[in-house]
Amino acid sequence: MKKITLFALAFVLTNSFNTNADTLGFAVGSYDFDGSRSATDFRVDYEYDTSVIVDHLKPWLGVQATTDGSLWLGGGVLYDWQFADTWHLKPGLGVGYYSRGSSDLDLGHPVEFRSQLEIAKDINAQNSLGLAVSHLSNADLDDRNPGVEVLSLYWHYNF
């Protein structure tokens, strides 16, 4: 029953939004870049080009995995502020499931929140490059909440 519910939720989420100019983002970065348990971080994010609640506030879904086996699956919202002709500032917040894998870094809880700030530059109508700093934290859902910072380089493709 759980699998059917998750499948139905994923179907509703992916078919609830206008998909005329959605964005697929690929990133590589440094997981725990300011600590001693560094690993390479890989991400795939899907940004819907539909505003929710206010203009430019967009839903997104993401998968994040590291070379030491940790995994984060989740989604949230981001605000895509185009502050110049080809520049965007994208603060975002999401929540998801976290699995530690073989990582030495225990974030304390399977529910982790991802906050992120990205600056991106449009290369052309379909491509942009961005630099993002993000933080994973369980927001004190557990007594243990060390959090982790990630520095990522993004390539976005609008389709």
Question: Which pTM value belongs to this model?
Answer: 0.84
pLDDT band at 47 (very low <50, low <70, confident <90, very high): very high
d(CA 33, CA 93): 20
- Measured CA angle at 136 (ends 135, 140), to 5 deg: 115
- Architecture, CATH, for domain 20-158: Beta Barrel (2.40)
Which pLDDT tens digit goes with each residue over 75-105? 999 999 999 999 999 999 999 999 999 888 8
Which pLDDT tens digit goes with each residue over 9-41? 444 444 444 445 899 999 999 999 888 788 999
